[in-house]
Amino acid sequence: DAMVIQNPRYQVTQFGKPVTLSCSQTLNHNVMYWYQQKSSQAPKLLFHYYDKDFNNEADTPDNFQSRRPNTSFCFLDIRSPGLGDAAMYLCATSREGGATQYFGPGTRLTVL
């Protein structure tokens, strides 16, 4: 089945230690999104790629970076995680901008 896969499902890191979260998709969609969701809050868009074009939300901290080496994969790099970065990180894809979004299962990040 076509799907969006995120690895790992759970990630524990130490304060200030860089971490990379992975997302892959078999849907061959053009657009890939990264959202941050904190407890009891709505998902918040960090950035998205339309093909290779990177679009950063204005309020996304510089601490967060992303890479999309090919259509199928997208990575979220947190350069120096703080306690406030503990959250669920959700990857989503859509065929085009404005189309239905399909989410992966998420990576729950804990920062010690």
Q: What is the rounded CA–CA span in Å between residue 18 and residue 15? A: 9
Does residue 83 touch other proteins according to CB under 8 A? no
Torsion angle defined by CA atoms of residues 22, 24, 30 and 34, in that order, rounded to the nearest 10 degrees: -30
The binding track of 24-63 with respect to other proteins, each residue x by CB under 8 A or -, is: ---------x---x---xxxxx--x--------x------
Out of 16, 61, 82, 97, point to the residue binding other proteins (CB under 8 A): 97
Q: Which span sits near other proteins by CB under 8 A: 13-21, 64-72, 74-82, 90-98?
A: 90-98
Least gap, CB of 95 to other proteins (angstroms): 11
* Structural tokens at position 66: 């992303």
Q: Print burial letters for 36-75: b (CB count within 10 Å at least 16), e (below 16).
A: beeeeeebebbbbbeeeeeeeeeebeeebbbebeebbebb
Please give the residue ranges that form the binding site for other proteins (CB under 8 A): 33, 37, 41-45, 48, 57, 88, 90, 92, 96-103, 105-106, 108
